Structure 1
Amino acid sequence: MKETVNVNIGSQAFTLDEDAYRVLRSYLEDIRSRLPEYDTETMGDIEVRIAEIFREIVSSPMRVITLDTVRAAMHQMGAPSDFGERRGSAAPAEDEEAAEAEPRKLYRSRTDRSIAGICGGLAEFFKIDVTVLRLITLFLILFGGLSIWAYIILWIIIPEQPAPKFNMNRKKR
């Protein structure tokens, strides 16, 4: 006899046996660790797709989702590594080598922006707190040390950070 767990996946209720729940939770946490922190929409889409797969495999809503069903869904979705690298999981030596091999580039931030992402991009480039940089910029604009035109010129010159590449339809081969 196995215990079951009631869960809500992609706004749909399912009953999973305990083993299936542990494996699915671990799988989803692994994927979540590979997506950008701010990207909740993609994680929601992944859950909705898993719910669709469960509905396709299990004929009756009264049936319990087993470990085999979860593994079949995971196989169809692909390995967590297909969703990218883990945030902050690379070994320090690998991180330093990658940083030395690839020069830093200045971009306007896509995620940390109030107006155009200039301060967010500069803060990321110089590895300082964005709030401090915003306050300094505000004081310089207000008290004449920096013209609003300089901010607008930076807005035009600095390219926007490239969008993260993610393909939900990519199949495992």
Structure 2
Amino acid sequence: MKETINANIGSLAFTLDCDAYEKLKEYFDDIRRRLPEGDTETLDDIECRMAEIFREKVNTPMRVVTLDIVQEAIERMGAPADFGEPRADARTEEPRIEEPRRCLRRSRKDRSIAGICGGIAEFFDADPTSIRLATLLLILFGGLSVWLYILLWIVLPSAPETENNN
């Protein structure tokens, strides 16, 4: 038993196999990338012609459009390359992998007192020892108050627990 999908093609209702639907969707998407931006009339004409071909092959509404029928219709219509080269802005790019949003947090794995310096070092991808040394020098020579360090200890959330943290 195959799963079917109901779809309107060229304003006519058809029942398609899932694999036939996917093939037809890929075909229309490929053509859409090759047509000028905003040219919906040509794509509508292509869909109407595809619907006519399906009506020739599927003479009763109870029959399902199969992958073979879709492939035969695509052969009759022509390859998407016949419609020109893809637009420069429509070429498929590799999906971007977004980096997780970085948050300033107190470190759980690299902490001496409260994890403030370790968290700052993780946030800026720096050496925690140099951050600790800079913090100590700023506290000793008046550039940074101990109260600010305590305030950060209270305000900054702790990093979430993971299996890697000890």
Give the TM-score range, shorter chain: 0.5 to 0.7
Q: What letter corresponds to residue 16 of structure 2 in structure 1?
A: L
Runs of 4+ in 1 over 2 A off after TM superposition: none
Q: What letter corresponds to residue 77 of structure 1 in structure 2?
A: M
Where does residue 10 of structure 2 map in the other structure? 10
Q: Give the percent of matched residue pairs that are identical in Structure 1 and Structure 2.
A: 66
Where does residue 82 of structure 1 map in the other structure? 82
Q: What letter corresponds to residue 83 of structure 1 in structure 2?
A: F
Unaligned segments of structure 2, at least 5 residues: 93-166
Deviation of 1:25 (Å): 0.2
State the superposition RMSD in angstroms: 1.2
Q: Tell me how far apart the structure 2 counterparts of residues 38 and 18 of structure 1 sit (CA, whole Å).
A: 28
Q: Tell me how far apart the structure 2 counterparts of residues 10 and 43 of structure 1 sit (CA, whole Å).
A: 10
Deviation of 1:40 (Å): 0.4
- Give the TM-score, by structure 1 length: 0.51
Q: Tell me how far apart the structure 2 counterparts of residues 80 and 43 of structure 1 sit (CA, whole Å).
A: 12
Unaligned segments of structure 1, at least 5 residues: 91-173
Show the 5 A alignment for 1:153-168: none
Q: What letter corresponds to residue 72 of structure 2 in structure 1?
A: A
- Give the TM-score, by structure 2 length: 0.53
Q: Tell me how far apart the structure 2 counterparts of residues 11 and 20 of structure 1 sit (CA, whole Å).
A: 18
Where does residue 67 of structure 2 map in the other structure? 67
Q: What letter corresponds to residue 38 of structure 1 in structure 2?
A: G
State whether structure 2 residue 58 is matched by structure 1 residue 58. yes
Q: Tell me how far apart the structure 2 counterparts of residues 43 and 24 of structure 1 sit (CA, whole Å).
A: 13
Q: Tell me how far apart the structure 2 counterparts of residues 13 and 74 of structure 1 sit (CA, whole Å).
A: 18
Q: Tell me how far apart the structure 1 counterparts of residues 14 and 38 of structure 2 sit (CA, whole Å).
A: 27
Q: Tell me how far apart the structure 1 counterparts of residues 52 and 16 of structure 2 sit (CA, whole Å).
A: 15
Where does residue 136 of structure 1 map in the other structure? none
- For residues 20-65 of structure 1, give each alpha carbon's deviation from its aligned partner in whole angstroms, at most 9, with x where no partner exists: 0000000000000000111100000000000000001112111000
Q: Tell me how far apart the structure 2 counterparts of residues 45 and 6 of structure 1 sit (CA, whole Å).
A: 20
Deviation of 1:14 (Å): 0.2
Instruction: Report how many residues are paired.
Output: 90
Where does residue 37 of structure 2 map in the other structure? 37
State whether structure 2 residue 11 is matched by structure 1 residue 26. no
